[in-house]
C-alpha cells in the first residue's frame, strides 16, 4: 500500500484530504506544521508528501529544501498546493525540488487525489514523468536541477473542469456551513484588534492571528468550490504574510485595504453558500495615469490577480473609451496635467455607461488632505503610493468579487489609528 504524508496546518482541510486519500486506498498520516512533517518522514516513510506552502514554523519551501538535502529522500515525490497569489514562492518550491505544483483555487480534492494517483502510479522516474495537461503561466517553474525535475501545473486562470470535479464534497460543504460562523467571528474580532492597534509593533501579532484565520478560510472555500471567496482570501493571506515579514509595509493604506477586504469576505461568507464560478472571465479594469512607469507598475500588480487591464495616460482619451465600453473597475491617479483625477471622476459619473463603476484613486499620502473633494467627485476608495503590488491585487479583487447586492459602495470601515477615513461614497 502506497503511503502519503499530508503537511497542512488547517485541521478541517487536512481532514478532508485525509478521508479522500483513505477512500482511494492509500495509507495516510497528517502533520500540522513543517517541523512535525519532517519528524513524521522518518517514522512513516511515505512515498509522497502533499505539502501546503503557507505553514507555521517551517514554510513549504524550507521543508522541501530540508527533504532534498538528504540523499535517501532525493526520489521522494512532493506535491505542492499553493494559494495562487504567491508566484515567487511557488517558483522557489520548484527550484527547491517539488515534483508538481497545484493551485488550491482550481484544484478540487478529486483533482488532487487524481494527481497523486498519477504520480504514484507512474513507473517513470520523476525526471521522465509525463507532464500534466496544462501549464500554469502564473506559477511557471524555473528549471530545477535534477533530481527531480518539475511537472507542469494546471492553470490558475483557467475555469475548473466541468462535471463532477466542480461539485464540492458534500461533507466538506456541510463542514463549511458549520465552521463559517466561527470564522466570521474571528475575522471581526481580529480585524477590530488590527485597526485599533496603537503602532506597528503591536499589530504584528494580530496580523499573524488574522493570517491564520484567512488561511483556514482560503483552504476551506477552495475545497468546497466557493471560488470567489477562495480567490480573495488567498490574495489577502499573501498580503498579510508580506506585512508579517516586512512590518515597514504596514501603512494606513494597507490597513485600510485589509479592512475593506475582510468586510467583503464577511459578505461572501454569508451569501456565497453555493458553488461559484471563477472570477468573471470578462472582468476588465481601466488604469488612468500620466506616468508610464506608474501605468506599468499598476498593470503588473493587477496581473498578480490574473485581471485584465487597459492602461491610458490621457484622461480625455480615457473618457472617450469609457463612453463606449463598460468597465468593472477604474484606477485613477489624482495628480495629472490638464485634468486631475477628481475632475476625471466627476466627468465619468456624468456618463451613463460607467456611472456606477467603482473608482479607486491612486494617490500620495498628502493628496488625502483633499478627502472632501474625493467624496464630492464620486470616488469609492483609495490606495496610497508606494504600495506592495499584492495590495493592488487585493484592492481590485475586493471590488471584482464582491456580492452583487454590495455593488454600491459600502460604508467605510472604522479608520485605523492615525489613518485617513475611507473614501467610500455613493456614486
Domain ranges of the chain: 3-166, 170-271, 284-406
Residue 406 confidence (pLDDT) above 70 = no
Q: Which of 144-148, 165-169, 309-313, 415-419 has the highest mean pLDDT?
A: 309-313
| pLDDT at 317 (0 to 100) | 95
Question: pLDDT tens digits for 232-254?
Answer: 999 999 999 999 989 888 988 89
Rounded-to-integer distance, Cα 177 and Cα 168, Å: 13
Burial class (CB in 10 A: 0-12, 13-18, 19+), 353: middle
Cα gap 96→90, rounded to integer Å: 10
pLDDT at 165 over 60: no
Q: Which residues, including other chains, have CB under 8 Å from residue 157's CB and lie 6 or more apart? A: 136, 137, 138, 306
- Grid cell of 356 as nine digits: 456606477
Q: Distance (Å, rounded) from C-alpha 113 to C-alpha 424?
A: 44
Q: What is the rounded CA–CA span in Å between residue 311 and residue 4?
A: 47
Task: Judge whether residue 354 has pLDDT over 70.
Answer: yes
What pLDDT shows up at residue 395?
Answer: 95
- Of residues 111, 59, 49, the one with CA closest to residue 90: 59
Q: Please give the angle made by the CA atoms of 10, 16 and 22, to the nearest 5 degrees.
A: 125
Q: Do 170-271 and 284-406 share a fold? A: no
Concatenated DSSP letters of 278-299: SS-TT-EEEEE-S-HHHHHHHH
pLDDT digits (tens, 9 = 90+) for 95-130: 999 999 998 887 888 899 999 999 998 433 333 333
258 vs 128, more confident:
258
CATH architecture assigned to 170-271: Up-down Bundle (1.20)
Q: Stretch 187-211: mean pLDDT, rounded?
A: 85
Confidence tier at 410 by pLDDT (50, 70, 90): very low
Q: Is the peptide bond before 270 cis (omega within 30 degrees of 0)?
A: no
What is the band of 25 on the pLDDT scale with cuts at 50, 70, 90? very high
Contact in structure between 423 and 374 (CB atoms under 8 Å)? yes
- Considering 50-59, 71-80, 81-90, 165-174, the range whose residues carry the highest mean pLDDT is 71-80
Q: In whole angstroms, what separates CA 253 from the centre of its chain?
A: 18
Which H/E stretch holds residue 322?
helix 315-324
Q: Which CATH class is domain 284-406?
A: alpha beta
Of the listed ranges 26-35, 107-116, 181-190, 218-227, the least confidently predicted one is 218-227
Q: What is the pTM of this model?
A: 0.76
Q: Comparing 299 with 139, which gets the higher pLDDT? A: 299
Q: Which CATH class, in words, describes the domain spanning 3-166?
A: alpha beta
* Alpha carbons 374 and 334: distance in angstroms, whole number: 9
What is residue 305's predicted lDDT score, i.e. its pLDDT? 81
Which of 179-193, 370-384, 409-423 is modeled with the greatest confidence?
Answer: 179-193
Distance CA 258, CA 254 (A): 6
pLDDT higher than 90, residue 44: yes
Amino acid at each position: 500500500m502506497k503511503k502519503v504524508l499530508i503537511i497542512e496546518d488547517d485541521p478541517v482541510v487536512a481532514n478532508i484530504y485525509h478521508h479522500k486519500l483513505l477512500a482511494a486506498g492509500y495509507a495516510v498520516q497528517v502533520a500540522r506544521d513543517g517541523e512535525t512533517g519532517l519528524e513524521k518522514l522518518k517514522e512513516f516513510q511515505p512515498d509522497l508528501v502533499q505539502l501546503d506552502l503557507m505553514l507555521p514554523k517551517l514554510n513549504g519551501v524550507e521543508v522541501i529544501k530540508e527533504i532534498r538535502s538528504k540523499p535517501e529522500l532525493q526520489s521522494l515525490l512532493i506535491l505542492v498546493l499553493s494559494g495562487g497569489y504567491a508566484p515567487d514562492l511557488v517558483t522557489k518550491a520548484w527550484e527547491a525540488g517539488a515534483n508538481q505544483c497545484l493551485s488550491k483555487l482550481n484544484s478540487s480534492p478529486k483533482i488532487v487525489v487524481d494527481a497523486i494517483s498519477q504520480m504514484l502510479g507512474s513507473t517513470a522516474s520523476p525526471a521522465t514523468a509525463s507532464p500534466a495537461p496544462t501549464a500554469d503561466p502564473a506559477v511557471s517553474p524555473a528549471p530545477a536541477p535534477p533530481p527531480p525535475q518539475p511537472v507542469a501545473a494546471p492553470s490558475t486562470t483557467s475555469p475548473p473542469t466541468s462535471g463532477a470535479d466542480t461539485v464540492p464534497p458534500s461533507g466538506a460543504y456541510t463542514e463549511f456551513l458549520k465552521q463559517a460562523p466561527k470564522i466570521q467571528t474571528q475575522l471581526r474580532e481580529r480585524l477590530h484588534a488590527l485597526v485599533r492597534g496603537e503602532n506597528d509593533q503591536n499589530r504584528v501579532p494580530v496580523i499573524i492571528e488574522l493570517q491564520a484565520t484567512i488561511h483556514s478560510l482560503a483552504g476551506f472555500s477552495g475545497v468546497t468550490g466557493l471560488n470567489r471567496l477562495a480567490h480573495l482570501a488567498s490574495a489577502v493571506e499573501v498580503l498579510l504574510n508580506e506585512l508579517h515579514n516586512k512590518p515597514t509595509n504596514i501603512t494606513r493604506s494597507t490597513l485600510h485595504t485589509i479592512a475593506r477586504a475582510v468586510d467583503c469576505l464577511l459578505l461572501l461568507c454569508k451569501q456565497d453558500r453555493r458553488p461559484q464560478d471563477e472570477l468573471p472571465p470578462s472582468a476588465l479594469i481601466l488604469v488612468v495615469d500620466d506616468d508610464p512607469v506608474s501605468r506599468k507598475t499598476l498593470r503588473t500588480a493587477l496581473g498578480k490577480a490574473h485581471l485584465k487591464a487597459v492602461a491610458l495616460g490621457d484622461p480625455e482619451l480615457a473618457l472617450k473609451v469609457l463612453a463606449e465600453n463598460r468597465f468593472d473597475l477604474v484606477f485613477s491617479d489624482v495628480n495629472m496635467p490638464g485634468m486631475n483625477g477628481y475632475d476625471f471622476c466627476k466627468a465619468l459619473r456624468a456618463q451613463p455607461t460607467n456611472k456606477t463603476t467603482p473608482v479607486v484613486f491612486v494617490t500620495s499620502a498628502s493628496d488625502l488632505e483633499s478627502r472632501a473633494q474625493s467624496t464630492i467627485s464620486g470616488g469609492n476608495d483609495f490606495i496610497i503610493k508606494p504600495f506592495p503590488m499584492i495590495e493592488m491585487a487585493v484592492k481590485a479583487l475586493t471590488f471584482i468579487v464582491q456580492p452583487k447586492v454590495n455593488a454600491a459602495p459600502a460604508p467605510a470601515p472604522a479608520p485605523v489609528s492615525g489613518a485617513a477615513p475611507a473614501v467610500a461614497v455613493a456614486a
